[in-house]
């Protein structure tokens, strides 16, 4: 069934992209979703909705050669995803 809102598919794709970025970068999604009562993940979602780099994002997500899953510098959520990355054993979380 087609959606009445023409932007529905684009919004849905960008929402999935945030989930993929969280997974690929090793960000702790549980901590991220709970932080500030959900305000942080809402902010990250808004950043993805207005992202000027959707093609670069998809290319980065699809690149299997990336050894370091640190968020790419072009990503508006780079600092946020870095802050919520799971840390190596013995390393203190932020």
pLDDT in the model for residue 30: 95
Chain segment 52-73, per-residue pLDDT in tens: 998 899 899 989 888 778 999 9
Extract the residue ranges of the chain whose pLDDT is less than 50: 88-94
pLDDT in the model for residue 66: 82
| Phi, psi for residue 24 in degrees, rounded to 5 | -65, -35
HSE-CB of 10 using CA atoms within 13 angstroms: 10
**Residue 31: count of CB within 10 angstroms of its CB:** 14
Which token pair is 26? 């090793």
pLDDT in the model for residue 16: 85
Cα distance between residue 47 and residue 43, in whole Å:
6
Q: Are 59 and 65 in contact, with CB atoms under 8 Å apart?
A: no
pLDDT in the model for residue 88: 42
């Amino acid at each position: 069934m087609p959606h009445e809102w023409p932007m529905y598919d684009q919004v849905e794709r960008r929402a999935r992209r945030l989930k993929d970025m969280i997974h690929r970068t090793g960000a702790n999604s549980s901590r991220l979703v709970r932080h500030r009562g959900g305000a942080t993940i809402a902010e990250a979602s808004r950043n993805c909705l207005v992202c000027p780099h959707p093609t670069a994002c998809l290319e980065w997500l699809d690149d299997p050669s990336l050894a370091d899953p640190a968020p790419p510098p072009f990503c508006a959520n780079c600092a946020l995803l870095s802050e919520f990355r799971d840390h190596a054993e013995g390393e203190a979380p932020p």
